[in-house]
Amino acid sequence: MPASAQDGPIAPLSWSEQDRRCLSLAIAYEAAREPVAGQQAVAEVVLNRLAHPSFPKSVCGVVFQGWRRSTGCQFTFTCDGSLRRRLSIATMAEARTVADAVLDGAAPRRVPGALNYHADYVRPVWAASLLRVNKLGAHIFYRPLPGGVAEGARQVERDWTAEEPDGAVIDRAYASGGALPAAMPAVHSAAVSSTTRSDGPFAPWGLPLTR
């Protein structure tokens, strides 16, 4: 297992550059304005999912789960138009620093076993069926109850290959600070363009911004 979904430390392994880029993108788009602890927690959720049998089998597969849909992806920035926003160099550099620290085993565990989280300004129905682990910044983190199921988990063994994004998509998004690659799917009408949206927070897990 590349990481533990339990209470033990995340073991440093030989992660690929694509792993690091995908985790950096997730941190930057999901938690750019969060404290470092909150950014580490988002990264930890990705690795907890990677270690879990009901989620994709690579960092990029976890981050981009459902990305080919116009809505309903597991990390909203991959399908809701957020990649149209060009993030600052400083934002991406900070995200990469956090990603490297988490992958290299240099960051403390923040949310042991957490497989889900949501922003504190939304109330998803699935939260009531999970165990709250911690609140860091604007995000509340959850793990499944004993015998329970995480939101987004797939209970039937499946081929996760379809969840993997093309390497060019990752490379272009990372290199441009998040400018939308031509290979990305069309976004739905609720997406916000780069001219009207800053690096501010948004609701993860396909949830709207309204309370």
pLDDT tens by residue, 22-60 = 999 999 999 999 999 999 999 999 999 999 999 998 999
**pLDDT of the residue at 72:** 72
Query: What number of residues does the chain have?
Result: 211
**Residue in 166, 167, 152 with CA at minimum distance from that of residue 49:** 152
12 domain-assigned: no
203 domain-assigned: no
161 domain-assigned: no
Q: What is the mean predicted confidence (pLDDT) over 129-143?
A: 97
91 domain-assigned: yes
| Residue 53: CATH number of its domain | 1.10.10.2520
Q: Which domain holds residue 92?
A: 17-110+168-175
Confidence of residue 157 (pLDDT cuts 50, 70, 90): low
Give the pTM: 0.79
**pLDDT of the residue at 12:** 58
> Could you tell me the CA-to-CA distances from 153 to 9, 26, 131, 182, 197 in Å, in that order?
23, 18, 15, 29, 31
Average pLDDT, the chain: 79
Q: What's the total number of domains in the chain? A: 1
104 domain-assigned: yes
